[in-house]
């Protein structure tokens, strides 16, 4: 029965996923580099197309090479190894999710390439020249091997849910609790549920303040809704948080005569998160925020905190992405 089951799953995956990749179904252990443990399967021939925002060209990159250079751009190399491994798996899963969603046609924003090099749209990626210029020789000597190890020790591993690659959203710092996907983005995903993220104390962006003038505050809100009005003399009494999401960010806030979402306020004033308070003192408006980013999926500083507490990358990922399975890519290319 077990053999029949896995044969069925294999046929299903080959049918549903992109032709270049096959997912081996199972709850698996990460390939190890020590003697006496099973060898890795080579996935070095898997190629993806990446739109380079700097050169405006579409690059053909080996998947694992791409992930290595994404990892450098997306997470500090000083982080714990297990946190780096978790980020490598998340970045790889994101690339495969994009490939399976858009295929050869690519994303509408960059036809012919499923992913790009901008963190504002996909995942940030740096060329080797950019990495060396940004970090310098000493960094390369101290950290490059560590980055490569994090990628190589998780080669080909991605996260799936119901045998499909997940959309593994991640962010810098949640502020103590992540958000449900539907509270921030359009759709509810069963694996993107609000969970605690208690080990973020060392994040330099856990708390932040931003001060602006009352004129900038009013003009910013009028740029979003031209009918906005507020009594300057009693502005503090006209700011009321109406609803919060499960993760703690603001869902609805009443300011003056209008109701806004927390995301709208964050975007308008370029705040670090939608988990904020507003205080008014004289002509100064102060935003106090907790966390940095959209708050959905894996908190990178939370992941590092979990690693410091002894969690491995699988435990980290299973915490932030509920109900996922670890699967492995193999090449469907002819040798």
- The answer on 235 and 143 residing in a single domain is no
Instruction: Indicate if 241 and 136 belong to the same structural domain.
Output: no
Residue 177 domain flag: no
Same domain? For 58 and 133 the reply is yes
State how far the Cα of 327 lies from the Cα of 157, in Å rounded to an integer: 6
How far, in whole angstroms, is CA 165 from its chain's centroid?
Answer: 14
CB neighbourhood size of 279 (10 A) = 13
Sign of CA dihedral 59, 63, 69, 73: positive
**What is the pTM (predicted TM-score) of this model?**
0.85
User: Under DSSP, is residue 179 helix (H, G, I), strand (E, B) or coil?
Assistant: strand
Domain of residue 82 covers 2-171+297-331
Predicted local distance difference test score (pLDDT) of residue 332: 54
User: Contact, 314 vs 326, CB < 8 A?
Assistant: yes
Tell me the C-alpha to C-alpha distance, in Å, between residue 82 and each of 44, 157, 241, 282, 334: 22, 14, 38, 48, 34
pLDDT band at 114 (very low <50, low <70, confident <90, very high): very high
Q: In the chain, how many domains are there?
A: 2
| 191 within some domain | no
Whether residue 29 is found in the same domain as residue 145: yes
Looking at the fold, whether 28 and 104 belong to one and the same domain comes out as yes
Same domain, 16 and 151: yes
| Res 185: pLDDT | 92
* Domain assignment present for 264: yes
d(CA 122, CA 96): 12
284 and 139, same structural domain?
Answer: no
Over range 309-327, report the average pLDDT.
98
62 plus 143 within the same structural domain: yes
Q: Is the domain of 157 the same as that of 98?
A: yes
Angstrom CA distances, 264 to 181, 220, 231, 260, stand at 16, 11, 21, 6
Residues 6 and 127 in one domain: yes
- Residues 20-60: pLDDT tens digits? 454 554 443 333 333 322 233 344 468 999 999 999 999 99
Residues 162, 305 share a domain: yes
- 230: helix, strand or coil: coil
Distance (Å, whole) CA 116 – CA 56: 10
């Amino acid at each position: 029965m077990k053999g029949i089951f896995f044969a069925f799953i294999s046929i299903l995956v080959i049918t549903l996923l992109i032709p270049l990749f096959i997912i081996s179904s199972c709850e698996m252990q990460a390939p190890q580099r020590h003697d006496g443990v099973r060898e890795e399967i080579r996935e070095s021939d898997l190629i993806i197309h990446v739109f380079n925002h700097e050169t405006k060209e579409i690059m053909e990159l080996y998947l694992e090479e791409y992930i290595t250079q994404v990892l450098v751009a997306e997470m500090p190399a000083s982080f714990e190894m297990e946190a780096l491994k978790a980020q490598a798996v998340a970045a790889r899963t994101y690339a495969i999710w994009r490939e399976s969603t858009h295929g050869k046609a690519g994303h509408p924003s960059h036809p012919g390439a499923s992913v790009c090099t901008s963190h504002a749209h996909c995942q940030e990626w740096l060329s080797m020249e950019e990495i060396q210029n940004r970090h310098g020789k000493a960094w390369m000597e101290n950290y490059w091997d560590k980055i490569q190890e994090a990628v190589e020790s998780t080669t080909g591993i991605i996260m799936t849910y119901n045998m499909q690659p997940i959309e593994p959203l991640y962010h810098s710092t949640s502020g103590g609790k992540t958000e449900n996907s539907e509270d921030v983005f359009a759709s509810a995903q069963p694996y993107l549920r609000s969970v605690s993220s208690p080990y973020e104390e060392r994040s330099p962006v856990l708390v932040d303040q931003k001060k602006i003038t009352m004129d900038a505050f009013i003009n910013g809100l009028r740029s979003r809704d031209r009918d906005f009005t507020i009594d300057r003399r009693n502005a503090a009494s006209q700011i009321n948080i109406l609803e919060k999401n499960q993760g703690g960010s603001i869902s609805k806030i009443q300011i003056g005569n209008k109701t806004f979402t927390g995301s709208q306020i964050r975007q308008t004033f370029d705040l670090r998160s939608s988990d904020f308070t507003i205080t008014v003192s004289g002509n100064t408006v102060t935003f106090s925020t907790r966390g940095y980013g959209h708050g959905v999926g894996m908190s990178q500083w939370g992941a590092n905190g979990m690693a410091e507490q002894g969690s491995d990358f699988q435990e980290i990922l299973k915490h932030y992405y509920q109900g996922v399975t670890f699967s492995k890519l193999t090449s469907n290319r002819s040798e």
